[in-house]
A and B are shown apart, each in its own frame.
Chain A
């Protein structure tokens, strides 16, 4: 299966830690990348590979993979982290890409 499943929504208190997960069989073969999407803005890459952050992304963002599950963790969540987060990877062919169902993160 090439589906990537995420929890629809999570909430986190300001300054606390939240983990967002992405499940799919394809993650046993390919790493996920993670994108932050805010209303009216373009998606932003926040994590790729095995815990690699693009330049300019805060170090409170970290990633991991175990079996068929990829995780994005925000340690010390800030108000500006409130957004939708999507994982992305490739299907079993390696040629077709798929996004996760998305997780809305609310910072309380």
Chain B
């Protein structure tokens, strides 16, 4: 059974750093594209970042230069390192598995999300 479990969220002051983790089971993270998506309170879904099976990374303009997506193949875990955090980064962060080209890069499995609150 495919499962994604996020952790690492919490309350952090503006300018601070936080690392989110997404532990995967039931499949191998290194074989799939993996995404981070967020939802700010009262707002819609916002795509944040993707890492390809080959390790190539892309970011939304809103987080480029501040966030870094990575994975640890030995732990089958996806990460999001978030630096220089701002109040507008406050959101529930989801990790999601991309089912690949055969399904037009839709995200077929999602974690339950972890809440990041940036506030002084």
Contacts and interface: CB of A to CB of B under 8 A. Distances in A.
Interface of A: 30-31, 33, 35, 37, 41-45, 48-49, 52, 54, 84, 86, 88, 90, 95-102
B44 interface: yes
8 contacts: A33-B105, A41-B112, A43-B45, A43-B94, A95-B50, A96-B47, A98-B47, A102-B44
B104 A31 contact: yes
Contacts, number: 63
A43 B59 CA distance: 20
Given A96-B60, A97-B50, A99-B46, A49 B104 contact: yes
A88 B47 contact: yes
B116 to A, nearest CB: 16
A90 B98 CA distance: 13
Interface residues of B, number: 24
Given A88-B107, A95-B58, 20 more contacts: A33-B104, A35-B45, A43-B45, A43-B96, A43-B107, A43-B110, A45-B106, A45-B107, A45-B108, A48-B99, A48-B104, A49-B104, A49-B106, A86-B44, A96-B59, A97-B35, A97-B50, A97-B105, A99-B45, A100-B44
